Structure 1
């Protein structure tokens, strides 16, 4: 009687391996039942293996996507902390050089009150960039003559503008308003006394209630020297 070879999968450590099973035309019922059980077992195992492979693939894909997403994310932006509002000033002399072509005339003087400090502004006209020498002095005296100058307050802040010129040099009219100029709502500044222009410098005296910290800087359009005096407790 002819023999036929039937390939029946076998469950093994590496999955279901195909093995040859020799059978006659009529196989015992037990053998057929065993083969059916093995086939059923392999049918259940193979999807599980495929599912595991798919899960691993999905996990790898997800990991790859996550990694790609992380690498393409923009870097964190760090915002600098806000200023604490402290007044950056002291009582040491403050000086700055005038430009070589400076020839300016003080045309206006103003005082004002701001949060935490008083402001004195000396507006100038002319050419070049003025310099300055601002410092506390023991007593005010007029430049040129040396005569004492009366200034209200317990301390005197002398403001010297360098690179100054006479009105006939600059074509600008020199300050000739209130003298002394009282502080407008100020807390530390008492008044400003304009002195004179002499040999390239113009002097004004700022009376204060104490030797409070101050700062000096220059603004443009129009050009003006700014002196700010901090409040005292």
Structure 2
């Protein structure tokens, strides 16, 4: 009888060792260290792919520089040639160009010079050899093959009219034009405001006329 305890101790020790080994093996298997797709501590976190950036859009000028329905009714017919077009201002005219717009209409492109002040403006519109600023004599950068000069008469400086002048020498363009490339307001000197219109190709027939409420000098170039 004295041998039984002596024999059982090794058996109990062996059993305990086997149990510890089994627990360690299970722990190792649960850790997932043998599976590279599943790191220790739990399943791999997933991250949604970032959405692509929105496609950038561009905006062009208005397809109708002056959508006033009365504009076309007031417009004279296009002349058969490209001769000078003139009109006289009223004696009380003192106006500042506050906006320049360019747009496309069926059969022609339109340039609008909007003005604020008193009286009625006049104008002199004609093709010239080059875009030359008056009175400096400096050449103005202008896209296009032909240069149409627009001189608004009866003009005044902003400090005289209290109106905010449209930025000078800033090209104005619009999407979809067929003959006008851009228009540039140059500046005012001796009661005249000078602007240029770039035209694609040879000089094309044009017409100039007045619209009111608000006051506008409109130049349409056929093409």
Superposition pairs for residues 209-220 of structure 1, below 5 Å?
209=200, 210-220=202-212
Superposition pairs for residues 1-233 of structure 1, below 5 Å?
88-89=78-79, 90-176=81-167, 179-209=170-200, 210-231=202-223
Distance 1:153 1:219 in 2: 27
* Residues 164/178 of structure 1: CA separation in 2 closer, same or farther (3 Å cut): closer
Distance 1:139 1:177 in 2: 18
Gaps of 5+ in 2: 1-75
Cα distance, 1:177 vs. partner?
Answer: 7.3
Structure with higher strand content: 1
RMSD over aligned Cα atoms:
1.5
Distance 1:117 1:190 in 2: 12
Cα distance, 1:178 vs. partner?
Answer: 7.8
Give the aligned partner of residue 47 of structure 1: none
After the TM superposition, which segments of 4 or more aligned residues of structure 1 sit over 3 Å from their partners? none
Give the aligned partner of residue 39 of structure 1: none
Distance 1:112 1:199 in 2: 29
* Residues 165/206 of structure 1: CA separation in 2 closer, same or farther (3 Å cut): same
Point out which structure has higher relative CO (alpha carbons under 8 A, 6+ apart): 2
Aligned pairs, number: 146
Distance 2:195 2:186 in 1: 5
Gaps of 5+ in 1: 1-85
Give the aligned partner of residue 74 of structure 1: none
Which secondary structure does the structure 2 equivalent of 1:212 belong to?
A: coil
- Any conservation in 1 of the 2:85–2:124 contact (CA below 8 Å)? yes
Cα distance, 1:130 vs. partner?
Answer: 0.3
Cα distance, 1:88 vs. partner?
Answer: 2.3
Q: Larger Rg: 1 or 2?
A: 1
